[in-house]
């Protein structure tokens, strides 16, 4: 059953009006228009994955890295993740609309660590394993917004990497190379493809990378 979200509806309506449509002409058809757009962007029909996404998630999963998504968006993203067949690689999807706070608030990053640890506890009970709980220093957040993703994660005590697919590779490099080349510590650590994450190690409290928080697809 379709239910109009007033905030989303207003954004869509404003977009049409700015494009030249009159509110009087738009209103009789608006529910149908909005329903079509809302449903389209609730599935893979409204999105296309970058070619490095699925292969990187598979590779990280094979390395034993636990992964989740933290996103400033609404409940549609969870449906999109399933539609894109990415959910087998993820332990959780944390949405700001459901949590009540957005990045860069450190609280949403802290909640991500809590959820990851809840999964670890549940897995330990099932498998009788003794995997230790995760600390923020063992987590890596990857995002494309310097303030919301990079600085937000750092403020919560996580490691962070900024993904910038538009920049040339020689302008910045992955952490292990940047450190060797004397990268300015005040500038964000940048990768240009998710595949670079396969070679990044986060030295946390127990000296191993255990959790990766990814940007939304």
Write the pLDDT tens digit of every residue in 65-96: 999 999 999 899 999 999 999 999 999 999 99
Distances (CA, A) of 122 to 89, 129, 153: 17, 10, 25
* Co-location of 105 and 208 in the same domain: yes
172 inside domain? no
96 lies in the same domain as 189: yes
For residue 141, which phi and psi values (nearest 5 degrees)?
-105, 135
Q: Are residues 71 and 119 in the same domain?
A: yes
Q: Same structural domain for residues 17 and 69?
A: no
Q: Do 90 and 197 belong together in one domain?
A: yes
- Residue 115 shares a structural domain with residue 200: yes
User: Are 100 and 26 within one domain?
Assistant: no
pLDDT attached to residue 217: 39
Please indicate, yes or no, whether residues 114 and 72 belong to a single structural domain of this protein.
Answer: yes
pLDDT in tens, 116-157: 999 999 999 999 999 899 999 999 999 999 999 999 999 999
State the CATH number of the domain containing residue 103.
3.40.50.1000
Is it the case that residue 208 has pLDDT exceeding 50? no
Expressed as residue numbers, the domain containing 27 is 7-41
pLDDT above 50 (res 206): no
Strands (E), 17-176: 66-71, 92-95, 139-143, 159-163
Number of domains in the chain: 2
pTM confidence score:
0.77
Q: Among 91, 62, 66, 93, which Cα is nearest to 77's?
A: 93
């Amino acid at each position: 059953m379709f239910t109009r979200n007033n905030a989303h509806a207003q954004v869509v309506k404003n977009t049409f009006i700015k494009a030249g449509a009159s509110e009087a002409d738009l209103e009789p058809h608006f529910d149908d228009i909005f329903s079509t757009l809302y449903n389209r962007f609730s599935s893979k029909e409204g999105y296309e994955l970058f070619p490095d996404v699925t292969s990187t998630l598979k590779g990280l999963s094979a390395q034993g890295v636990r992964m989740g998504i933290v996103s400033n968006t609404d409940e549609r993203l969870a449906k999109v993740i399933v539609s894109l067949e990415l959910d087998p690689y993820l332990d959780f999807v944390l949405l700001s609309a459901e949590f009540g706070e957005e990045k860069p608030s450190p609280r949403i990053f802290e909640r991500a660590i809590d959820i990851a640890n809840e999964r670890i506890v549940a897995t330990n009970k099932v498998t009788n394993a003794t995997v230790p709980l995760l600390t923020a220093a063992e987590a890596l957040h990857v995002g494309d917004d310097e303030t919301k993703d990079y600085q937000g994660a750092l403020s919560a005590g996580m490691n962070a990497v900024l993904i910038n697919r538009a920049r040339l590779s020689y302008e910045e490099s992955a952490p292990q190379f940047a450190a060797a080349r004397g990268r300015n510590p005040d500038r964000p650590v940048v990768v240009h493809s998710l595949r670079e994450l396969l070679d990044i190690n986060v030295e946390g409290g127990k000296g191993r990378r255990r959790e990766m928080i990814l940007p939304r697809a």
